[in-house]
Structure 1
Amino acid sequence: MPHLLPSPSRPMLPLLKGGVGTLLLGGAILAIPQAQATEISIACGAGDASDYCPELARQWAEQTGNSVKVISTPNDTTEKLSLFQQLLSSRSSDIDVMMVDIVWPGLLDDHLLDLSEYLPEGATDDYFPALIDNNTIDGRLVAMPWYTDAGLLYYRKDLLEKYGYPAPETWQELTETASAVQAAEREAGNDDFWGFTFQGRAYEGLTCNALEWVASYGGGTLVDEEGEVTIDNPRAAAALDLAASWIGNIAPKGALNHTEEETRGIFQSGNALFLRNWPYVWSLSQEDGSEVVGKVGMAPLPHGPEGESKATLGGWNFAASRYSEHPELAADLVAYLTAAPQQKAHAVKMGRNPTIESLYQDEAVLASNPAMGDLYETLRHGVARPASVTGDAYARVSNAFFNIAHLVLAGDVAADQAVAQLSDELERIGRRGW
């Protein structure tokens, strides 16, 4: 079967020529010369200004002489997943290509094309290995990475300089620095100031935070690559113990109900020294109206005494349905969307983090957002949630983890008891194999 991956160094050549066809985007109709146009559909984001997928789909249609129908999907990721599961379970051919969250390949893999059958050998070599591994289920490459995220530590560089502290390298250093600066700022009159803000609500965001704590302590990733449950260990318990000590001390008790935006609000209003969040915060913190313009630094997340910095990977990928009536074209569109030129444009115009390593040394990408260069090592050493290995059970695995972590943060369960309980629950979930 011929491969259809466009070269990063030149635009993709049209597959079909002659005739007349249409490109369908938001009701607009574009005439395209072609011999025998084929329409395929792609499910992107919500169709708002930040959704770059329709523009790239239009470019692909112009270059190939086919037409693309862009289908908007719900903003809510749970609703989006439910929509895809419903369509795929019914073997519907209504959607050929879909944008999938980083934790979905293991949930949807039975319904997705093996893209390695359509791509040339070595086509994935330039991408972050962890992302390719995440998207490879039982040896099948079921999605190609489009853009990525990873947890980062934001800090008030002006306040660290004022009080003579470096950016922390360990979680213990963060705890001590946050406590000292919080006390000094409150003594100076800011009673609303906190040392650290993070996502502590019982939801997927807490899975991301808690996985970073545990993995950076050398406590594993809940379930290892062989499917063995590994969470019941002293290092994992120590990580959760330290996190519980933050609540009400260097982090507000309200952290137990905070998501990304609540934590960004606290930090961006000037009321926190440290913030754990995703890369999108950088540009927002530098916009007009932000209280911290020019005062923000970024660093890898801290680590435990016996571990190394670990950032949970996030981001989105493109996959092709096994039920597509045009699998070659669907795979070709996936290849085009995720190729280097399109990722570069996505980074420059929309600030999204590429999944191709070389783009983190690209002058245009760095000029558009100098923080991109700082992200490289963080992304390179990112930790994936155990979604690929646990497959259909991942939602239950994550629910179990964030619920028990929330109980530890709230002081309702001791960390050593929590990891033992969680281990038992995960063993039950995976009893018949993942």
Structure 2
Amino acid sequence: MKVQGKLWSGILAGCMVLSTVLAGCSSNAGKSEAPKPAESAKSDTANSTGKSLTVLVEGGSPANTVATQTAEEFKQKTGYEVKIETVPYIGVYDKLNADIRANKGSYDVATIDILWFPALAKGLTSMGDLMSDNVKKDLFPNLIDGGTVDGEVLGMPVWTNSKVLLYRSDLFNDPKEQEAFKAEYGYDLKPPANWQQYRDVAKFFTRDTNNDGVKDMYGTSVFGMNNGDSVASWLDHAAQAGAKPMVVGKDNKALVNTEPYVKALDFLTTILNKDKSAPEGALNMASSETSEMFWNGKLAMMLAWGHFYVPSNDPAKSKVAGKVGVAPMIGGDAGIGVIPGPWYQVIPDSSKQKDIAKQYVQFVYEKNELFMEALGVAARKSVFEKYSKRPEYAHLNALQTTLEAPQTQNRPILARWNQIEGEALVSAIQAALSGTESPQSALTKAAASINEIQGK
């Protein structure tokens, strides 16, 4: 899940209240067993020159929050000071990649986006020894695979996330709205579970609420901005339409011009251009813009990352606080499916103290519930189960259902994914949404571009 600086600000504003309780949060994430310490023939204490560990994280992120809050406890346990280096989102990749290539050993641990594994894999240390059976059982499907390249486990997940359905419960529960919807569509108004219901509800709630001749509330939104958010949103629907594997086949040739992908893009263009139940400015909208509209009462529904439920119910952030419900992601012909957005801790091979770095990764795994407090999601099932009992974390059951759906799957592990996303997929989505090309035509061109990038 790529989350840009502006979006972190929105997340952190929505989670500000939660941060005050982090210091008193229990470190026991659940009944699942923590990883066993890695064995080593040599002591890191002997190899270390400064009794310190350098951790690279995105500034203002949950990874930064948790690293800061746990640094003193780790020092008390091990004698190692945790030095935290913060950089902007893409700076994490740039810094880590440059350090690995130069073999400098500036960083011992880093928290990275799943998207970066293909490019960084050759410079990362295996973490297979941390993945006991009990650890595996406590992690969501696809999490281990998401951090595995060529059979080597290279990352320990710290959180996972996906889109779910957030909706205005006050509107859905209004008897007048229920009566009007049933009269028009012939079935009961409820949170939509499939594409047709989603379209119907979105059209129903798109309206001019003050009778000035201008629509001021839409049923939903469509992501069309020039970034990875629009690609992930489209791929969510491709998975729902039956796409598997994602984007490329076993031969690494593009699949994006095949039926599930075309259906998914047609679904989005229909909502935007035919039904007109999403704002016209879709090419300038993604998660941040959609959430702002929803929080300001301008959308009846949004398909948003699960953690957005927390700020949606924060009166300091949202005008519709207390009026927001949550349901699993909608399903297509193949059922529910999404592209999750996990992050991982990794250890670069260039680190001069891998043993203490693995101890740190184990330590943070045991503190996994701190990510739930900081962001509203975590990696461990036991943490989800514990927090789902609290009303402020009502999104977790819907999120768990979505993450465990059979069609939920990771993006492909491709070294040139960023290029494929930026040069082929975003432009195809925008061409279709703008109406300049049909979904089939746009994706046929995207497939040719992907094959060229892949050398196929």
| Partner residue, 2:143 | 131
User: Per-residue deviation at 1:189?
Assistant: 8.2
Q: Distance in 2 between matches of 1:379 and 1:366?
A: 20
Q: 1:247 aligns with which of 267, 272, 276?
A: 272
User: Per-residue deviation at 1:193?
Assistant: 0.8
- 1:85 paired to 2:108: no
User: Per-residue deviation at 1:242?
Assistant: 2.0
Preserved contact between residue 225 and residue 286 of structure 2 (Cα < 8 Å): yes
Q: 1:41 aligns with which of 25, 43, 54?
A: 54
| Partner residue, 1:321 | 348
User: Per-residue deviation at 1:117?
Assistant: 4.2
| Partner residue, 1:301 | 329
1:170-222 alpha-carbon deviations (Å, 9 max, x no partner) = 12221122112224746698831111124220211001111011111113421
Preserved contact between residue 286 and residue 293 of structure 1 (Cα < 8 Å): yes
Which range moves more in the overlay, 231-240 or 106-115? 231-240
What is the root-mean-square deviation in Å for CA atoms of aligned residues?
Answer: 2.9
| Partner residue, 2:243 | 219
- 1:398 paired to 2:421: yes
Q: Distance in 2 between matches of 1:98 and 1:61?
A: 18
Residue 69 and residue 184 in structure 1: after superposition, are their counterparts in 2 closer, same or farther (change >3 A)? closer
- 1:273 paired to 2:273: no
In the TM superposition, 1:22-421 aligns within 5 A as 38-46=51-59, 51-74=65-88, 77-117=89-129, 120=132, 123-162=135-174, 163-164=177-178, 165-183=189-207, 185=209, 191-220=215-244, 221-224=246-249, 227-247=252-272, 249-289=276-316, 290-304=318-332, 306-339=333-366, 342-347=367-372, 349-362=373-386, 366=390, 369-381=393-405, 383-388=408-413, 390=414, 392-399=415-422, 400-421=424-445
Residue 309 and residue 415 in structure 1: after superposition, are their counterparts in 2 closer, same or farther (change >3 A)? same
> Matched residue of 1:100: which SS?
strand
Q: Which runs of 5 or more residues in structure 2 are unaligned?
A: 1-30, 40-44, 179-188
> Matched residue of 1:353: which SS?
coil
> Matched residue of 2:110: which SS?
strand
Code of the residue aligned with 2:404 in structure 1: it is R
Q: Distance in 2 between matches of 1:335 and 1:10?
A: 7
Could you tell me the TM-score, scaled by structure 2's length?
A: 0.80
> Matched residue of 1:193: which SS?
coil
1:155-184 alpha-carbon deviations (Å, 9 max, x no partner) = 112212332211111122211221122247
> Matched residue of 2:159: which SS?
strand
Q: Distance in 1 between matches of 2:35 and 2:248?
A: 42
Which range moves more in the overlay, 269-278 or 41-50? 41-50
> Matched residue of 2:219: which SS?
strand
Residue 176 and residue 188 in structure 1: after superposition, are their counterparts in 2 closer, same or farther (change >3 A)? farther
Q: Which runs of 5 or more residues in structure 1 are unaligned?
A: 1-6, 16-20, 22-34
Q: Distance in 1 between matches of 2:435 and 2:154?
A: 41
1:9-63 alpha-carbon deviations (Å, 9 max, x no partner) = 68999x9xxxxx9xxxxxxxxxxxxx99732211123157872222223322221
Code of the residue aligned with 1:261 in structure 2: it is S
| Partner residue, 1:26 | none
| Partner residue, 2:25 | none
> Matched residue of 1:275: which SS?
strand
Q: Distance in 2 between matches of 1:190 and 1:119?
A: 56
Q: Distance in 2 between matches of 1:315 and 1:122?
A: 20
> Matched residue of 2:136: which SS?
coil
Residue 230 and residue 323 in structure 1: after superposition, are their counterparts in 2 closer, same or farther (change >3 A)? same
Residue 363 and residue 149 in structure 1: after superposition, are their counterparts in 2 closer, same or farther (change >3 A)? closer
Task: Give the strand-richer structure, 1 or 2.
Answer: 1
User: Per-residue deviation at 1:128?
Assistant: 1.3
Residue 187 and residue 215 in structure 1: after superposition, are their counterparts in 2 closer, same or farther (change >3 A)? farther
1:52-105 alpha-carbon deviations (Å, 9 max, x no partner) = 22222332222122222111122xx22332222222221120101001012111
Code of the residue aligned with 1:57 in structure 2: it is A
User: Per-residue deviation at 1:426?
Assistant: 1.6
Aligned residues: 401
1:240-272 alpha-carbon deviations (Å, 9 max, x no partner) = 112112225111111110122211111111111
Preserved contact between residue 344 and residue 365 of structure 1 (Cα < 8 Å): no
Preserved contact between residue 196 and residue 272 of structure 1 (Cα < 8 Å): yes
Q: Which has the higher contact order (CA 8 A, sep 6+)?
A: 2
Residue 168 and residue 365 in structure 1: after superposition, are their counterparts in 2 closer, same or farther (change >3 A)? closer
| Partner residue, 2:453 | 429
